Amino acid sequence: MRRMADGFAAHRAPTPEDWKALNVYHDRAPLSRRLTPPSLGLRPKLTFIPRAGRLEALLGDIAHAFGALLADGEPSRVRVCGNVDCLWAFYDRSRNNSRKWCEPTCGNLMKVRRFRSGKKIRAHK
């Protein structure tokens, strides 16, 4: 999934191997569905119960969410955080499609680093 996100962020199409690998995760973690009857006039609740191990179920859930994003979203909006120490990929929902950071914390951290590196250069001159 990360290789696909990197590719989308760089405007490269995923390879057939990427699609195949994503589907492997879908297949590894099947889920069972359970419907809980309504109580006190509320709606019934649909829950998903993993039939695989916890890690497999988690990877399957992540693969499902990523697959839904690719199927229903716009892959060109997949980004990789501009913080070189951050490994997160995210979906850019900004109006002008220009978001650079996964969250404001990363953006602030990078701006502070840039500001401090400028100060060090000026201090040595």
pLDDT: which is higher, 125 or 80: 80
Q: What is the pTM of this model?
A: 0.61
Place 123 in a pLDDT band, splitting at 50, 70 and 90.
low
Place 24 in a pLDDT band, splitting at 50, 70 and 90.
confident
Of 5, 12, 1, nearest in space to 92 by CA: 5
pLDDT computed for residue 124 by the predictor: 54
Q: What is the pLDDT of residues 43-84, one digit of tens each?
A: 878 787 777 677 887 888 888 888 888 888 888 899 999 998
pLDDT: which is higher, 21 or 120: 21
Collapsing DSSP to helix, strand or coil, 6 comes out as helix
What is the DSSP secondary-structure string of 35-74? EEPP-TTPPPEEEEEESS-HHHHHHHHHHHHHHHHHHHS-
